Amino acid sequence: MIDKTVFENKIAAYYTLGCKLNFAETSTIGKVLAEQGVRKARAGEKADICVVNTCSVTELADKKCRQAIRRIGKQHPGAFVVVTGCYAQLKPEEVSHIEGVDLVLGAEQKLDILMYLDDLKKKEEGGAVIASQTKDIRTFSPSCSADDRTRHFLKVQDGCDYFCSYCTIPFARGRSRNGTIDSMVKQAEEVAAKGGKEIVLTGVNIGDFGKSTGETFIDLIRALDEVEGIVRYRISSIEPNLITDEAIDFVAGSKRFAPHFHIPLQSGSDEVLKLMRRRYDTELFRHKIEKIKEVMPHAFIGVDVIVGTRGETDACFEEARAFIDSLDISQLHVFSYSERPGTQALKIDHVVDPKTKHARSQQLLDISDRKLHAFYEAHIGREANVLFEQTRKGGMMHGFTENYIKAEIPYDNSLVNETRRVILEGWNEDGTALVVKIIE
């Protein structure tokens, strides 16, 4: 039995590191505590409870998590500190011994946080650890962010069955699982009822949707497309072998799905893709890009790439660089390979030194800058629909077109969370967005 009086007049601070899925889950944790009367801390307030949702995609991510946990302890002296997320699942004992940590919750326990808070008394030596073995993670816990942004992030899937050689996510998140289509539609309807206009579908491997319910990703997006009140959906990162031609054609003709794709390539070298244990080759990847551009010529396509993986020789990188440069894509998200304990990649010969990793990253970032600039340039003078956001910077407000071009206009409170037809007129002063003029 939970003693709810423990939460009366309590204040909580929430900190999220890592992916959009983490943000959605932190938002759900916040809702759970708010239902017990716990108020979110305002700027400068000292919290009674601190929840840190961590990432562990790289060694640098682990380091940032440790730094954040220590910093939070100093900012909120005496607060009961809960750490969860991927770093907490992978290295719970290590996290429990970070100064100030009172409770470490694994992936299976994080959204049942109320069951484990007890009396909120600080631990004198080392935090309590409550975490299941990865093989025992079975629960799909629904989450949908509801922060101050126009966008909402709807978790449709969790976990991964792929076990790529460089990745620890299957060990941190468990096997692929998902909620039902009916439950996803209900959450989308709730977003619409609260005035939300845009939903990003998020997960670990969302194209794998249906593993635990016998449904399919294409059926999910068809059902969501019928939800009234939502202006647009975006599909977050989806594996190239799982974004079917049928799904691409559906998005092209849909009412609400944006012509915006984020597709991880990871390497443009077939030899490296095999070492990574990816489930496609460059021929399939090129087909997906060409298919998207065939039916949606103005689609924005973002692509993830990892540089400096074990086995990436100079020849492999040059092959990858040339392949990436040849693609009709809009932007690259470039990551330097990070050694992760327990991964199969550690058995691969040929280690790339940090200096070479940096140089290769810079080459790909230069390609990305050139492609993104060209994509924006090609749209100057065209009309588009922009959903404006709350953010105000230097007297200006921003929003995004359907195909993810950042738009800028003088701040007008009446435009927040509203969609307007605009003309994309040209670059802003710092070259980060296109200035727009409203025509409808």
Sorted by sequence, the CB contacts under 8 Å of residue 87 that are 6+ apart come out as 54, 55, 56, 61, 62, 65, 95, 172
In CATH, what number is assigned to the domain containing residue 170? 3.80.30.20
Task: Specify the pLDDT at position 134.
Answer: 86
Same domain, 99 and 215: no
Tell whether 22 is covered by a domain.
yes
pLDDT tops 80 at residue 1: no
Task: Specify the pLDDT at position 3.
Answer: 65
92, 110, 132: which is the final residue of a domain?
Answer: 132
If you write DSSP's letter for every residue of 102-158 in order, what string do you get? EEEE-TTTGGGGGGG-TT-PPPSSS-EEE---GGG-------B--SSSSEEEEE-EE
User: 391 is in which domain, residue-wise?
Assistant: 382-438
pLDDT in tens, 158-210: 999 999 999 999 999 999 999 999 999 999 999 999 999 999 999 999 999 99
Tell whether 138 is covered by a domain.
no
Where do runs of H (alpha helix) occur along 150-303?
Answer: 169-173, 181-193, 217-224, 245-253, 270-276, 282-295
381 CB-contact burial (10 Å; exposed 0-12 / middle 13-18 / buried 19+): exposed
Same domain, 396 and 275: no
Tell whether 1 is covered by a domain.
no
Work out the pLDDT band at 321, boundaries 50, 70, 90: very high
How many Cα atoms sit within 13 Å of 256 on the Cβ side?
A: 20
**Is-contact 266 304, C-beta < 8 A?**
yes
Residue 394 neighbours by CB distance under 10 Å: 9
Same domain, 157 and 17: no
Tell whether 349 is covered by a domain.
yes
Task: Break the chain down into helix, strand, coil percent, rounded to 5.
Answer: 35, 25, 40
Q: Residue type at 93?
A: E
Tell whether 420 is covered by a domain.
yes
pLDDT in tens, 131-153: 999 888 889 988 998 655 678 99
In CATH, what number is assigned to the domain containing residue 393? 2.40.50
The whole-angstrom separation of Cα 364 and Cα 434 is 24
Tell whether 2 is covered by a domain.
no
Task: Specify the pLDDT at position 118.
Answer: 80
Nearest CA among 284, 293, 229 for reference residue 261? 293
The whole-angstrom separation of Cα 154 and Cα 185 is 10
- For the residues 236-241, what does the mean pLDDT come to? 96
101, 132, 163: which is the final residue of a domain?
Answer: 132
Same domain, 74 and 175: no
103, 132, 161: which is the final residue of a domain?
Answer: 132
Same domain, 151 and 112: no
The whole-angstrom separation of Cα 437 and Cα 10 is 46
Residue 332 neighbours by CB distance under 10 Å: 22
Q: Domain tally for the chain?
A: 3
Q: Rg of the chain's alpha carbons, rounded to an integer?
A: 22
Tell whether 4 is covered by a domain.
no
Which strands sit side by side in the sheet containing 39-40, from one edge to the other? 39-40, 11-16, 49-54, 80-85, 101-105, 128-130
Task: Specify the pLDDT at position 297.
Answer: 98
Task: Specify the pLDDT at position 135.
Answer: 85
Same domain, 25 and 166: no
Same domain, 216 and 294: yes
CA–centroid distance for 211 within its chain: 21
Same domain, 87 and 24: yes
pLDDT in tens, 78-93: 999 999 999 999 999 9
Model pTM? 0.92
Average pLDDT over the chain, rounded to whole? 94
Same domain, 104 and 171: no
Strand partners, 155: 202
**Is-contact 220 156, C-beta < 8 A?**
yes
Give the 3-state secondary structure of residue 183.
helix
Same domain, 178 and 246: yes
**Is-contact 51 14, C-beta < 8 A?**
yes
Give the 3-state secondary structure of residue 343.
coil
162 CB-contact burial (10 Å; exposed 0-12 / middle 13-18 / buried 19+): middle
Nearest CA among 279, 280, 278, 300 for reference residue 289? 300
- Going by the DSSP 8-state scheme, the letter that residue 381 receives in this structure is T
Same domain, 113 and 185: no
Query: Which residue is associated with the tokens 């942004």?
Result: 149
Angle, helices 354-379/314-326, rounded to nearest 10 degrees: 10
pLDDT in tens, 5-56: 788 889 999 999 999 899 999 999 999 999 999 999 998 899 999 999 999 9
pLDDT in tens, 292-303: 999 999 999 999
Percentage, residues of the chain above pLDDT 90 = 87
Query: Which residue is associated with the tokens 């409170």?
Result: 413
Task: Specify the pLDDT at position 145.
Answer: 84
Sorted by sequence, the CB contacts under 8 Å of residue 416 that are 6+ apart come out as 150, 388, 389, 390, 397
pLDDT tops 90 at residue 379: yes
In CATH, what number is assigned to the domain containing residue 22? 3.40.50.12160
Same domain, 337 and 397: no
Percentage, residues of the chain above pLDDT 70 = 98
Tell whether 92 is covered by a domain.
yes
